[in-house]
């Protein structure tokens, strides 16, 4: 029997750190609503991220930029209600922490108070250090996010692999140390060379969780819609699809339409 069903207890930032220390890989997935939060939690995932990727997969936006603080709070509140065991991290949306640490702490406290989540994730390194420190000083655990940072898509112009060049790799490594020194409890690395991912994980004492950052990091994160095949239009190399839920739902819905049209549904047992 797995540890998850035998020994159910709340995952904390301390427990996540201990996983790294004893070499246990950390599993992390996104969720954006109550039902999905409940399913992901009951399946034994360690960390649930209410990602601003909700802007794409839940709202149909091209980027993560349009999602608002109110929308993230609405989604996160729903997820938290469904989660008993996992650590719940909420993404601070674009425009709520960049360049203004006072606004950052006000937004952070709103998310914590209104959603009852466990911690927050912010994209960026040295340039957002003041905001990170101010949030940490309020006793709120912070997860960093380096490499491909979708909130900066307009700066980079594409979603290609980051930090392939030496200068960008050096900056990423420096930023990772800055975030660790500031007191972040973990860092996400998105879409960078595997060798760099492994180097960062080796140099840092805090957990490094990768998405497209290779197998040498301390854990992995994927977007739930992508890994269960709810969104078959997105197929980057780093994605492993564990199911084809879109096909399952398509078939179920087609069968329902056929049964309604033919009068087969509802039958005698399905009525009062
Ligand atoms: O918003 C998100 O889903 C994320 C993951 C890709 C790490 O930040």
- Residues 213-224 have pLDDT tens digits of 999 999 999 999
In this prediction, residue 231 has a pLDDT band, given cuts at 50, 70 and 90, of confident
Ligand 1 site residues (CB inside 6 A) read 30, 49, 51-53, 91, 188, 190, 211, 221, 223
Torsion of CA 206, 107, 112, 105, to 10 degrees: 60
Identified catalytic residue from 62, 190, 203, 247? 190
Check pLDDT > 80 for residue 8.
no
Check pLDDT > 60 for residue 4.
no
Minimal-distance CA residue to ligand 1 atom 1: 51
Q: State CA 8 to chain mean position distance.
A: 22
* Atom nearest to 209 CA in ligand 1: 7
Is 168 known to be catalytic?
Answer: no
In this prediction, residue 84 has a pLDDT band, given cuts at 50, 70 and 90, of very high
Burial-class residue 198 by CB neighbours within 10 Å (0-12, 13-18, 19+). middle
| Mean pLDDT of all residues in 4-9 | 52
């Amino acid at each position: 029997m797995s540890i998850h069903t035998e020994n159910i207890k709340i995952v904390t930032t301390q427990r996540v750190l201990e996983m790294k220390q004893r070499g246990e890989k950390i599993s992390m997935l996104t969720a954006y609503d109550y039902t999905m939060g409940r399913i992901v939690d009951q399946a034994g995932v360690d960390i649930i991220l209410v990602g601003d990727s909700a802007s794409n997969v839940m709202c149909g936006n091209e980027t993560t930029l349009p999602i608002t603080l109110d929308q993230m709070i609405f989604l996160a509140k729903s997820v938290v209600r469904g989660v008993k065991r996992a650590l719940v991290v909420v993404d601070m949306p674009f425009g709520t922490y960049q360049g203004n640490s006072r606004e950052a702490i006000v937004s952070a406290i709103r998310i914590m108070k209104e959603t009852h989540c466990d911690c927050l994730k912010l994209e960026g390194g040295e340039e957002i250090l003041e905001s990170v420190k101010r949030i940490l000083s309020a006793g709120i655990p912070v997860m960093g996010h380096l490499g491909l940072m979708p909130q900066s898509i307009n700066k980079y112009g594409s979603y290609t692999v980051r930090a392939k060049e030496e200068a960008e790799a050096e900056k990423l490594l420096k930023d990772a140390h800055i975030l660790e020194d500031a007191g972040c409890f973990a860092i996400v690395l998105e879409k960078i060379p595997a060798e760099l991912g492994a180097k960062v994980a080796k140099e840092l004492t805090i957990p490094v969780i990768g998405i497209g950052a290779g197998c040498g990091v301390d854990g992995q994160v994927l977007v739930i819609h992508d890994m269960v095949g709810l969104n078959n239009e997105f197929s980057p190399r780093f994605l492993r699809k564990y199911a084809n839920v879109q096909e399952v739902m398509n078939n179920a819905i087609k069968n329902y339409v056929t049964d309604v049209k033919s009068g087969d549904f509802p039958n005698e047992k399905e009525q009062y």
